[in-house]
């Protein structure tokens, strides 16, 4: 699958990569453009498959890892759904159906309260930089099928 993006989008993505210390290679730009246009977090296998014309497999996995470590992408562990990646627009969490894998974004999070609670209960940490949280359950469609 070829990935297309506008000239304005290209400039934004180039600046984003530069601001995080990355060269703006065509492969990285297309990877970010593809994830930015996605409606949900995508598995690394799906991303690599979609990027096969733009990045080889090894470079795609390396780019995902590096961009996630830099905070440009968010990495979420969806248990049986594996690790999924998404372009970071804002801080949020996910609710994941354990039956069908449907994933929904949750946009409310009391960061400060969670960080304070974590530090209060920790013996060896003095600072929280970030956090990740997913909720797992059964979606309404799967619950109806079980009745």
pLDDT digits 0-9 by tens, 39-86: 888 999 999 998 888 888 899 999 999 999 998 998 887 776 678 898
pLDDT in tens, 30-46: 999 999 998 888 999 99
What domains does the chain contain, in order, with CATH numbers?
Answer: 1-89 (1.10.10.10), 90-147 (3.30.1490.190)
Contact between 134 and 116 (Cβ < 8 Å): no
88 or 32, greater pLDDT: 32
- The answer to whether the CB of 139 falls within 8 A of the CB of 99 is yes
Residue 109 annotated as part of some ligand binding site: no
What is the average pLDDT across 12-34? 93
> Helix (H) and strand (E) counts for the chain?
6, 6
Position of tokens 């998404």? 86
The model scores a pTM over 0.85:
no
For 49, the token pair is 């498959």
Determine if residue 97 is labeled as part of a ligand binding site. Answer: yes
């Amino acid at each position: 699958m070829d990935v297309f993006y506008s000239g304005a989008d290209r400039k934004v993505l180039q600046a984003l990569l530069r601001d995080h210390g990355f060269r703006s290679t065509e492969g990285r730009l297309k990877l970010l453009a593809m994830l930015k246009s996605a409606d949900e977090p995508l598995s690394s296998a799906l991303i690599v498959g979609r990027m096969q014309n733009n990045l080889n497999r090894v470079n795609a996995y390396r780019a995902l890892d590096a961009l996630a470590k830099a905070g440009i992408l968010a990495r979420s562990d969806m248990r049986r759904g594996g690790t999924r990646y998404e372009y970071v627009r804002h801080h949020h969490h996910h609710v994941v159906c354990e039956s069908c894998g449907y994933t929904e974004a949750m946009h409310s999070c009391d960061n400060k309260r969670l960080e304070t609670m974590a530090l209060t209960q920790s013996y060896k940490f003095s600072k929280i930089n970030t956090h990740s949280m997913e909720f797992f359950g059964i979606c309404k469609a799967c619950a109806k099928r079980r009745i």
